[in-house]
Chain A
Amino acid sequence: MAQTKKSVSEFIQDAFCPMVAVLCSYDAESICRKNNLTFAELIQPFCRLPTEVSYRDPSNNLITLKNLRLEIKDFNSLPPQNTLAKKLLNDSVSSALNNGIVNNEHEISTEQYELRIRNTTPWFDAWRDCFLRISYNGDHEYLKNYLACIMVVSTSHLDPMDAFAKLVQQQNLQQQQSPAKLPKWFMTNIYKYFVLLHDVTEGEESKAVSVFGDLKQQYGAGNCHLLQINSKRAGQTSGDTDAATNMPDPWRLYVKQSSSTTQQQQESQSISRKESSMSDSLSNLTELIDQELNITTSISHPLSSFDTSSSDLTSIGTTDEGYDGSSITSASTIIHGACLTLSDHDRIHVFMNEFVTKGLLLWVETNLKTFNEQITSRRGLTKFFSMPKKLFGSSTTTAKNVPSTSSTNLTNDSMEIRRAGDLAFLFQNYEFAYNNYYAAKRDLSRDQAPTFYAGVLEMCCLSNFMQESSASKAYPAQYMDEAIDIYSLACRLPIFATRCVLMSTEILKSREAYDQAVQQFLKLSQEDSDLRGALFLEQASHCFLNYRPPYIRKYAFYMVIAGHRYLKAGQRLHALRCYTDVLSIYEKPNWSLALDHINFTLGKQSASLNHSNDAIRSFNALFAPNNRIQNAQQQINFFKEYLTVFNQLTNSQTILPELPVPVIDNSTIKILLAGQQQPQIGTQVSNCNDFDFDETRKVWSDLERTITALDRRASGTRTQINLFTSRTHNQQHPIAVANETIRVEFYVRNILQVPLLLSEVQILWKHSSNSWKRKSSVSAENVEDSKEFTNDTLTKQSDEPVECDTLTDCVVFPNDTLKIELSLRPRRPGYVTILGICYRLNILVQNISDQTTWPYGIKGKTLFHVKGTRLNSNHKERLNVMYGVDKRLELQVIPEAPLLQIEYSPMPTAMFYKTTEVDEYNNCEHCRYHTESDYAAKPEERQPKVKIIVGKLQ
């Protein structure tokens, strides 16, 4: 997986392309400045040759170079400093997070898992490109040394010939000075090319021609070029805006990159100056950066002699977007190439083409020939010496016959072979390169020069691979393993080991040897750099998916480790991405310790990134009811973190957050209308009187049945149901009366190992003056009518239409259930929905000091979810799991009505039909309640007295 855009061979070719330095005289630079560009920048967009070019190798075969690209850098440019390099790498990863998101997924489905996997990992590609761009050259190789130097002088110079001579001298001095400083050169006689820059609008044509003539005479016609630019005056462009906007700007990509580099460079410098005043995050970052690349070679990075004037040229160049910047039309403050016309662009194209075909390639051809001759002559010598070796068998003792005198020179000879190989490799003569590398490998043993040996092994593999179809030998994968081992373990050069892994894994992936790619990625994932470790682990885990059958669980595991490393490297977003990608794989039942770990990390990190919804979702999952094996201490830890995060995140919210614990047993919810007028707080956890109708339910229904059977007159009337449970028929809305108490009873269960403290428990309600059915069709005119009230807010409202009683405190013990009863009284008619309960949640821990951190806990809610009985009346309902409607929580409140209260004194053990006597009447002028026993003659025949109170309560 993790496919990249480029093909593997293109990738390798681009990673190693010939380097060319540019040395400019001051006047030439000032001509280029008119375009807001340096000369190196000016020609950079043109450094990929659009046409095929060819040259002949030592055995006179024609080698065709396709898509040759040169890397052109200013003479004074330096590789970025350590800290900056690390920052660049970090930034490349973090900024590439959302690149190429669209259409970038494919599905993997096995028996048990359905996954959606990203096709590409743009952050890895970005990191890799950045890494290859800023990585420097080792002493054991020549791949990134400058092959050639372009000297540039303009015709406006008073004595251009002298200026050229001075530039050549400057280059020579730089190359010969000791100790050697950057930049490094390929060999003693590098290729020099001379460019006479001519400003068409300012310079004289005749002078240009005459100087160019002299130049050709002195340095040879093939090595010189007269480049005419600036055909347009800078002033002209302002008048002709249309033309200016239509001009392509191929520099935008290159220069933007370099300017941001400059900025960062300055930033990092300023950071290092005022280290004391740095913010935490920045210091963390720099620390991370410091670990990033463990550069321990002998190369002196010229930090001290840092030249700011040239800093804007640092590390430009390897983006190979080519000549297509025209499509980008976004406005930029600086216009590049304002003085250049399209014909100027063409001239630069021609210049690059001539430079390569008439100059550079000829030089390459001759040099390869020379190398070849040197090597063959030397090889003849070694053959002569190794003859006895062959004759007497390959026993190790005979190896001593090889003259010991040559062993001192051996390195030099090998270096020459290596140089030849590198040159051939850069110019795509892979067969010649392979032969040389292989010869160098044979010459040297691993112990003599481990770094050199590893480098040769690496290049052996690469050149073998690049020979593609013509490769006579099988790809030597074990060479690469050995090279990585030597680089990372023996030489402690992780930067080269990294380069090896990058190249090798691409090759292995293209050959579908995913298991070997995984091995190599994992080899380097343990090393010091967290960012690289994370990226490699992630790539390895993607490789697991390419196994047949895919190793999905391995993928998940390594993604988790990668996420962990991303966290260490300070890349939070990438860490979140890793964890969320594999979350579903661990959602199989009972991997709860692993799942908790992921959820906990996700929650903590989302919280620190202020993704409050994600954070809360992750934390809620921690307290999910199926989670039973986590121990109490861990749950206390989770809960503490949860409380902290919660308080941070919900400060700005207006509605109450939903809490995961305790769990409400929805089947036990009971609603009792017309409860007691005055709630009495009993010993129970309740704020109203105890009611338990389940036990007496049968008695009540029996009684009701008897009455209906006896009293024919009552047959037309309908019984008024006052109690609603999961077993009653709840298709109708219960009808409550304003100002009368409604009581709610339910059970809560604590699934955690920690006792929970609930306080300020209240019913959560919603009151509206409109019925539920019309809710959807509420028009704008009666908005005032249909105003809804709810206590589902954190702000206290006045004039609430429903009054609630509050239960101050209750404790739910671990793995225990508790019955809670609450009451509410609607104040006005309308429609009241009981949504759930709101409460303040805290944990009860023995340690007092813990509790003081959150003295009030968190305020939140838990909602009721009721459903009717399972439907079973037709075929469809039987096949599916369908439930009937349940309206017990949606109460219709009718206006205040008289209430009849009957008190018996004393309570009779048995009563008979029509024998109750009403003794006292309270407030009953309008009451038409009479019984025949009212007129019983003798007082002693009278039945127990009944007191009837009718009227408004309170």
Chain B
Amino acid sequence: MTSSSSNYYFVIVGHADQVVYEIELGGTTGQIAPTTDNRHLNQFIAHAALDLVDEAMWRNSTTYLKQVDKFNEWIVSAYVTAGGLRFLFLYEHLPRTGEDGLKNFLTEIYETYVKLLLNPFYIPDKPIRSGAFDKKIQTIARKWIL
């Protein structure tokens, strides 16, 4: 929890509640955040938010669900793709670009993900282990969260 105010956690959750992709982002640099001892907390909170995401996605017609859950000081926003994949974004304070920036960030990640899907060697719902994808996410993060 120390100095985690500028840290974000992003996770893509597959159809069977499995983690497809996750990354911890440092708010100021867009780099991968230094690892702390509380990394498991991100997962716990994101996992618990899935119930609310599942509920909220039927109430909203949009893909971007805004804030869906809150635990203590951590806030979870979500984005649900057309295919039913859930993007969760964990933060304590909104990025400097605000709600719109977050929305753009998630939308751009979705575009990147769609490009990844075009790769015949990638099987949907399997973990994404691609260096290029990592880099792309970080670039997008730097663009919108900076």
A residues adjacent to B (C-beta < 8 A): 112, 544, 549, 551-554, 556-558, 560, 586, 588-591, 593-594, 596-597, 629, 631, 633-634
Contact for A588 among B18, B22, B37, CB less than 8 A: B18
Looking at the assembled complex, report how far the CB atom of A521 sits from the nearest CB atom of chain B, in whole angstroms: 15
Given that A596-B40, A597-B40, A634-B37 are contacting pairs, would A590 and B19 also be in contact in the complex, using a CB cutoff of 8 Å? yes
Most B C-beta atoms less than 10 A away, residue of A112, A590, A634: A590
Inter-chain contact A557/B48, CB cutoff 8 Å: yes
Inter-chain contact A593/B16, CB cutoff 8 Å: no
Looking at the assembled complex, report how far the CB atom of A698 sits from the nearest CB atom of chain B, in whole angstroms: 31
Most A C-beta atoms less than 10 A away, residue of B18, B19, B40, B127: B40
Inter-chain contact B40/A594, CB cutoff 8 Å: yes
The answer to the question of B39 belonging to the interface, with a C-beta cut-off of 8 Å to chain A, is yes
With the chains together, A841 CA to B52 CA distance in Å? 45
Looking at the assembled complex, report how far the CB atom of B39 sits from the nearest CB atom of chain A, in whole angstroms: 5
Looking at the assembled complex, report how far the CB atom of A370 sits from the nearest CB atom of chain B, in whole angstroms: 53
110-143 of chain B: CB within 8 A of chain A: 127
Closest to A596 in B: B40
Inter-chain contact B40/A553, CB cutoff 8 Å: no
User: 29 A-B contacts, Cβ less than 8 Å apart?
Assistant: A112-B17, A549-B54, A553-B47, A554-B51, A554-B52, A556-B48, A557-B44, A557-B47, A557-B48, A557-B71, A558-B48, A560-B44, A586-B47, A588-B17, A588-B19, A589-B18, A590-B18, A590-B127, A591-B18, A591-B19, A591-B43, A593-B39, A593-B40, A593-B43, A594-B44, A594-B47, A596-B40, A597-B40, A631-B35
Looking at the assembled complex, report how far the CB atom of A688 sits from the nearest CB atom of chain B, in whole angstroms: 38
B35 cross-chain contacts in A, Cβ below 8 A: 631, 633-634
B37 cross-chain contacts in A, Cβ below 8 A: 634
Contact for B42 among A112, A554, A556, A593, CB less than 8 A: A593
Q: 6 closest Cβ contacts across the A-B interface? A: A557-B48, A590-B19, A589-B18, A597-B40, A594-B43, A551-B51
Q: Given contacts A558-B48, A634-B37, could you give 17 more A-B pairs where the C-beta distance is less than 8 Å? A: A552-B51, A553-B48, A553-B49, A554-B51, A554-B52, A557-B45, A557-B47, A586-B47, A588-B17, A588-B19, A589-B18, A591-B43, A593-B42, A594-B43, A597-B40, A629-B22, A633-B35
The answer to the question of B50 belonging to the interface, with a C-beta cut-off of 8 Å to chain A, is yes
Inter-chain contact B51/A553, CB cutoff 8 Å: yes
With the chains together, A633 CA to B42 CA distance in Å? 18
Inter-chain contact A589/B19, CB cutoff 8 Å: yes
Looking at the assembled complex, report how far the CB atom of A900 sits from the nearest CB atom of chain B, in whole angstroms: 53
A112 cross-chain contacts in B, Cβ below 8 A: 16-17
Looking at the assembled complex, report how far the CB atom of B105 sits from the nearest CB atom of chain A, in whole angstroms: 22
Mark contacts of B87-102 with chain A using CB atoms, 8 A cut-off: 1 yes-contact digit, 0 otherwise: 0000000000000000
Looking at the assembled complex, report how far the CB atom of B22 sits from the nearest CB atom of chain A, in whole angstroms: 8
B16 cross-chain contacts in A, Cβ below 8 A: 112, 588
Inter-chain contact B48/A554, CB cutoff 8 Å: yes
20-40 of chain B: CB within 8 A of chain A: 20, 22, 35, 37, 39-40
With the chains together, A250 CA to B105 CA distance in Å? 71
B18 cross-chain contacts in A, Cβ below 8 A: 588-591
Closest to B19 in A: A590
Interface of B is mostly: helix
Inter-chain contact A553/B19, CB cutoff 8 Å: no
A557 cross-chain contacts in B, Cβ below 8 A: 44-45, 47-48, 71
With the chains together, A557 CA to B49 CA distance in Å? 9
With the chains together, A258 CA to B16 CA distance in Å? 54
Inter-chain contact B50/A553, CB cutoff 8 Å: yes
B49 cross-chain contacts in A, Cβ below 8 A: 553
With the chains together, A549 CA to B50 CA distance in Å? 13
Looking at the assembled complex, report how far the CB atom of A350 sits from the nearest CB atom of chain B, in whole angstroms: 58
A586 cross-chain contacts in B, Cβ below 8 A: 47
Inter-chain contact A556/B47, CB cutoff 8 Å: yes
**Size class of the contact patch on chain B:** 20 to 34
Given that A112-B17, A634-B37 are contacting pairs, would A589 and B127 also be in contact in the complex, using a CB cutoff of 8 Å? yes
B40 cross-chain contacts in A, Cβ below 8 A: 593-594, 596-597
Looking at the assembled complex, report how far the CB atom of B52 sits from the nearest CB atom of chain A, in whole angstroms: 8
Closest to B20 in A: A590
With the chains together, A586 CA to B45 CA distance in Å? 12
B44 cross-chain contacts in A, Cβ below 8 A: 557, 560, 594, 597
Looking at the assembled complex, report how far the CB atom of B34 sits from the nearest CB atom of chain A, in whole angstroms: 10
B127 cross-chain contacts in A, Cβ below 8 A: 589-590
A591 cross-chain contacts in B, Cβ below 8 A: 18-19, 43, 47
With the chains together, A553 CA to B53 CA distance in Å? 11
Looking at the assembled complex, report how far the CB atom of B82 sits from the nearest CB atom of chain A, in whole angstroms: 19
Closest to B44 in A: A594
Looking at the assembled complex, report how far the CB atom of A595 sits from the nearest CB atom of chain B, in whole angstroms: 9
With the chains together, A930 CA to B122 CA distance in Å? 65
Most A C-beta atoms less than 10 A away, residue of B19, B37, B48: B48
With the chains together, A596 CA to B19 CA distance in Å? 15
A560 cross-chain contacts in B, Cβ below 8 A: 44
Closest to A590 in B: B19
With the chains together, A560 CA to B44 CA distance in Å? 9
B19 cross-chain contacts in A, Cβ below 8 A: 588-591
Mark contacts of B39-80 with chain A using CB atoms, 8 A cut-off: 1 yes-contact digit, 0 otherwise: 110111101111110100000000000000001000000000
Looking at the assembled complex, report how far the CB atom of B12 sits from the nearest CB atom of chain A, in whole angstroms: 10
With the chains together, A556 CA to B50 CA distance in Å? 11
With the chains together, A594 CA to B38 CA distance in Å? 10
Closest to A626 in B: B127
With the chains together, A4 CA to B78 CA distance in Å? 38
Looking at the assembled complex, report how far the CB atom of B107 sits from the nearest CB atom of chain A, in whole angstroms: 24
Closest to A544 in B: B51
With the chains together, A594 CA to B17 CA distance in Å? 14
With the chains together, A634 CA to B36 CA distance in Å? 9
Looking at the assembled complex, report how far the CB atom of A618 sits from the nearest CB atom of chain B, in whole angstroms: 15
Closest to B53 in A: A553
A631 cross-chain contacts in B, Cβ below 8 A: 35
B20 cross-chain contacts in A, Cβ below 8 A: 590
Most B C-beta atoms less than 10 A away, residue of A552, A554, A591: A591
Looking at the assembled complex, report how far the CB atom of A272 sits from the nearest CB atom of chain B, in whole angstroms: 37
Looking at the assembled complex, report how far the CB atom of A110 sits from the nearest CB atom of chain B, in whole angstroms: 10
With the chains together, A633 CA to B39 CA distance in Å? 13
With the chains together, A631 CA to B39 CA distance in Å? 10
Looking at the assembled complex, report how far the CB atom of B19 sits from the nearest CB atom of chain A, in whole angstroms: 4
With the chains together, A849 CA to B21 CA distance in Å? 37
With the chains together, A586 CA to B18 CA distance in Å? 9
Looking at the assembled complex, report how far the CB atom of A563 sits from the nearest CB atom of chain B, in whole angstroms: 12
With the chains together, A720 CA to B44 CA distance in Å? 59
Closest to B69 in A: A554
With the chains together, A631 CA to B48 CA distance in Å? 23
Closest to A589 in B: B18
A549 cross-chain contacts in B, Cβ below 8 A: 54
Looking at the assembled complex, report how far the CB atom of B4 sits from the nearest CB atom of chain A, in whole angstroms: 15
With the chains together, A557 CA to B47 CA distance in Å? 8
With the chains together, A292 CA to B51 CA distance in Å? 33
Looking at the assembled complex, report how far the CB atom of A836 sits from the nearest CB atom of chain B, in whole angstroms: 30
Closest to B39 in A: A593
B22 cross-chain contacts in A, Cβ below 8 A: 590, 629
A594 cross-chain contacts in B, Cβ below 8 A: 40, 43-44, 47
With the chains together, A544 CA to B49 CA distance in Å? 13
Closest to B15 in A: A112
Looking at the assembled complex, report how far the CB atom of A437 sits from the nearest CB atom of chain B, in whole angstroms: 35
B48 cross-chain contacts in A, Cβ below 8 A: 553-554, 556-558
With the chains together, A633 CA to B37 CA distance in Å? 10
B17 cross-chain contacts in A, Cβ below 8 A: 112, 553, 588
Looking at the assembled complex, report how far the CB atom of B49 sits from the nearest CB atom of chain A, in whole angstroms: 8
Closest to B43 in A: A594
With the chains together, A544 CA to B51 CA distance in Å? 10
With the chains together, A551 CA to B16 CA distance in Å? 15
With the chains together, A588 CA to B125 CA distance in Å? 12
A551 cross-chain contacts in B, Cβ below 8 A: 51-52
A558 cross-chain contacts in B, Cβ below 8 A: 48
Looking at the assembled complex, report how far the CB atom of B112 sits from the nearest CB atom of chain A, in whole angstroms: 19
Looking at the assembled complex, report how far the CB atom of B43 sits from the nearest CB atom of chain A, in whole angstroms: 4
A544 cross-chain contacts in B, Cβ below 8 A: 51
